[in-house]
Homo-oligomer: A and B are copies of this chain.
Amino acid sequence: MLDFYFDFFSPYGYFGSTRIEALAARHGRQVRWHAFHMRSVMKDVLGLVQPLTALPLKGDYIRKDIRRVARWLDVPYAPGDAAAFANVAADRAFWLIHDVDAEAAKRFAVEVFRRHHALGDSPRDEQALMAIAVATRSDVVDLPTLLQGQACKDRLRQATEAAMAAGVWGAPTFVADGEVFWGVDRMPMLEHWLERGGW
């Protein structure tokens, strides 16, 4: 087993999502996907109240780096409007679907990532998320109503606390046998770890 932690808004998480299943399969592992609310972790753990891309210098670096990494990995990248993307609702919808069918939740996540980061066609509201859930054959029948309730908010909060308890503070993060790897640029190291059983 291998755990993959992500938040839909993160391009690096999107890049990781396109590679993690194949990486795990090469080592006979299955992947559990976990959406978490990264902005609250960044605020509570790192004391960051603004997105990294708003920082001087580091923000410029990251904006350029995202496009460079996309080209390096040969992953399509043409993001939609981040401000319009119903990112937190997507995180919550992931868990609503997941708790009925974890595989359907993965299909949903792949499509949400693709729509926002690769097609520039960001899901903007609960109806758009519902359409993706239907298109990816989820059994959750009334996503828009469920997304208004308190239960799905609590579920994401609980998932975010569980992520932090597992040592997660950034996205994407991969955990194998308790060993934590942060960042898409650590996937080669994660793969070495799986090959060698640690070092």
Contact = CB atoms under 8 A, between A and B. Distances in A.
A55 B46 contact: yes
Contacts of A188: 188
Contacts of A182: 61, 65
A180 B61 contact: yes
B72 A189 contact: yes
A57 B45 contact: yes
How many chain A residues sit at the interface, stated as a range, is: 20 to 34
B72 A58 contact: no
Contacts of A168: 57
B61 A164 contact: no
A17 B28 CA distance: 36
Contact of A57 (B60, B71, B164): B164
Contacts of A55: 45-47, 169
A58 B60 CA distance: 22
A137 interface: no
Nearest to A196: B72
Given A46-B55, A61-B167, 20 more contacts: A41-B57, A45-B56, A45-B57, A46-B58, A47-B55, A55-B169, A57-B167, A57-B169, A58-B169, A60-B167, A61-B169, A61-B180, A61-B182, A64-B180, A65-B182, A68-B199, A71-B199, A72-B192, A72-B199, A183-B185
